Structure 1
């Protein structure tokens, strides 16, 4: 495993981190616009889909990036045949998982959104399902191809893919996914009255592609195992993200808090990006320095937060660097949103203080959870490359959305209304 100084690590992480951040800012601006489209206004349950579908980058793309990064670092992609077997098998597996998660996310949106209120419309449910499945499949395919290019390019240029792959996986993932979701949802909504069968055909088409991907994935040993055993973290993460989506749906429905929309992808995306880097690095470290089921001496015993940040080890340094990136990174992204005149919120000192406190608390908690979770999974014999990142990014979505909602409620309660929150 290559040794890195904190400066070299920060420089490698910085550019992908900024790219990922600007991608989430763009996604927030898109969400701020499309919330006024007919489909989003009349079928508000689409908002429940947003964190679950944006979370696919954590469930699938970042997990793929972490697996392939470890494969590069331990020499499993030196052989061209082995390299392409890994890539093709993992891409096919990812398409299967994306389709299933997209379908289940739509079911969760129906259950969380309509059933508790006693309202249900079959045409809207089918539209949700079609939009979710189509978005998940198309976005996952596009991002998977980009991800493979990043991993292969990192290997050729001598850059540690653990530092750059996961944030680049998210750099335009949110924007691509949200744009596809908005376009498909609005298109199907327009067809709802004149051609009601279109939604069903779209859903059936993408579901029919799933068996083909299963056959391709099952031909490769590396992905065959995950085809049967890799569902628990992906589905659990989708449920966690959907709860965050329910919070977003209820918050957006409050006209006093509508300004939250543009900031949600930003705080969720940045938290997920940073914790994914840390999880990927810890996992690679464990693959290098210990056998599955055995953990290093410094990680034994009861967990405590100081263990994550205090020390001079490689994982301690990376946790420190990642936490230090939170405030300057968010300041850049907040100012970008302000310059673009988006978000319906003036950058008052009280708003920035509350927002940055929420962001710091989110990332601090996620880095601590990552340290504990990755070591626990390794100790239990599970590969954290495949199991940890879905949980961590989903928790990032839930924590980010909840803390942001609390922040906006707090601002409203204390009378920070001159900042036109929810204008």
Structure 2
């Protein structure tokens, strides 16, 4: 849809609201006309949300450290490829939902059209999740089958059914939670741009990984004998996609997102799957990498999602992005070291993983984390501004690319960090365990 300024309108009724919702003449909506968010308030809100989200990611990392030893992960290694792709998918959908709803909240649409927003967005992410969950499974099957040259139909059905059912259930639960977070944050006068996307990502990781592990394990018990149950799950998902897609298309709030959202989500799935290949290789060499992979990817993804969400809202409000980019970037970079130290200490305190937190390890890990976030924030600024100029709503399209790049860069840098540690002689007894 073309974003020319002369055809921009934003109205407060459901029937008149244009799917693109920048205001004309630079006017600010009533609820933010006189509000100015200080850097201190923004920093506190973001850091607290990062801590809460980070502990959720630590929990997801601890869960991955446990389930990697389950029989389904051991016997069907393609499940490892599904983990970054499916977790990235859920994070993308929920964080994109959070970014969209945050902008709607700033523009006053939640007060007037909440029901329509809820129905349209839940159907939208359900449609996207099921379809892309199926594609993620197919990618995992292909990536596992091509190197080995062996195709197992039972394993393929298990991967596909697990991915589709996990994506569907997680979408419903997380979508409702995110809507609640946005509504409550506005009532408490908290900027949803600062807190919604980290919460979406952390809850998405933990919920999706738990569901995937549980569902895959249940299906694995009869993987070689029962093809009826996986087939029913896949067929049900295929029926759900057009129904939810039609509802989302008829909804004025989600029609543009349905149109623009596919390429970013599918592209992000492909990028995250590449990260899954790296994880599948490195986890077989360095067992200790699993517990840190979700943390470095999650924190990087959370930070770049907050940056993109704030920048997108700034553009929708007709404000200049220059000063916002500088202040937000500095705040986010300053949060990397204390945030990562807290999570490293937590992992060490819980005696999780297979790697000791030596000073050398912490230094190398911090370098990888800082480099990842620095690159992501720079890419985020140019990508969001470029999308806006090209007539693409960054609320719908930017976050999937950025979080997928975060997964890829985080997994790659973490693998290089472990390889570097091993090469320089920091051979923790468990590092290459």
Could you state the TM-score of these two structures normalised by the residue count of structure 1?
0.92
Structure 1 position 346 matched with structure 2 position 356? yes
**1:232 equivalent among 263, 280, 283:** 263
1:159 aligns to what? Answer: 190
C-alpha distance in 1 between matches for 2:251 and 2:388: 24
C-alpha distance in 1 between matches for 2:214 and 2:63: 11
1:226 Cα deviation (Å)?
2.5
2:222 aligns to what? Answer: 191
Q: Which deviates more from structure 2 when the two are superposed, residues 399-408 or residues 53-62?
A: 53-62
1:248-280 CA distance string (max 9 Å, x none): 0111222xx111111111111110000000000
Q: Which deviates more from structure 2 when the two are superposed, residues 11-20 or residues 372-381?
A: 11-20
2:342 aligns to what? Answer: 332
2:24 aligns to what? Answer: none
> Are the equivalent residues in 1 in contact too, given 2:85–2:136 (CA < 8 A)?
yes
> Are the equivalent residues in 2 in contact too, given 1:126–1:199 (CA < 8 A)?
yes
Structure 1 position 145 matched with structure 2 position 167? no
State how many pairs are aligned. 400
SS of 1:253's partner is helix
2:240 aligns to what? Answer: 209
1:55-91 CA distance string (max 9 Å, x none): 1243210001001101111222231xx2221221011
1:221 Cα deviation (Å)?
1.4
Structure 1 position 15 matched with structure 2 position 48? yes
1:118 Cα deviation (Å)?
1.0
2:145 aligns to what? Answer: 114
SS of 1:179's partner is helix
1:269 aligns to what? Answer: 298
1:56 aligns to what? Answer: 89
1:33 Cα deviation (Å)?
0.7
> Are the equivalent residues in 2 in contact too, given 1:191–1:198 (CA < 8 A)?
no
C-alpha distance in 1 between matches for 2:244 and 2:384: 29
Q: Where in structure 1 do 4 or more consecutive aligned residues deviate above 3 Å?
A: none
C-alpha distance in 1 between matches for 2:303 and 2:179: 20
| Matching of residues 9-408 of structure 1 within 5 Å | 9-79=42-112, 82-254=113-285, 257-289=286-318, 296=320, 313-408=323-418
Could you say if the C-alpha distance between residues 229 and 10 of structure 1 is closer, same or farther in structure 2, counting changes exceeding 3 Å?
A: closer
Q: Which deviates more from structure 2 when the two are superposed, residues 394-403 or residues 212-221?
A: 212-221
SS of 2:110's partner is coil
1:415 Cα deviation (Å)?
1.6
Could you state the TM-score of these two structures normalised by the residue count of structure 2?
0.90
C-alpha distance in 1 between matches for 2:155 and 2:225: 14
1:190-209 CA distance string (max 9 Å, x none): 11134233222222223322
**Aligned CA-pair RMSD:** 1.4
> Are the equivalent residues in 2 in contact too, given 1:237–1:390 (CA < 8 A)?
yes
> Are the equivalent residues in 2 in contact too, given 1:281–1:315 (CA < 8 A)?
no
1:293-350 CA distance string (max 9 Å, x none): xxx5x76xxxxxxxxxxxxx23321111111110100100011111111111101011
C-alpha distance in 2 between matches for 1:349 and 1:419: 15
> Are the equivalent residues in 1 in contact too, given 2:91–2:205 (CA < 8 A)?
no
C-alpha distance in 2 between matches for 1:179 and 1:348: 30
> Are the equivalent residues in 2 in contact too, given 1:23–1:173 (CA < 8 A)?
no
Q: Which deviates more from structure 2 when the two are superposed, residues 358-367 or residues 214-223?
A: 214-223
Flag structure 2 segments of 5+ consecutive residues without an equivalent.
Answer: 1-31
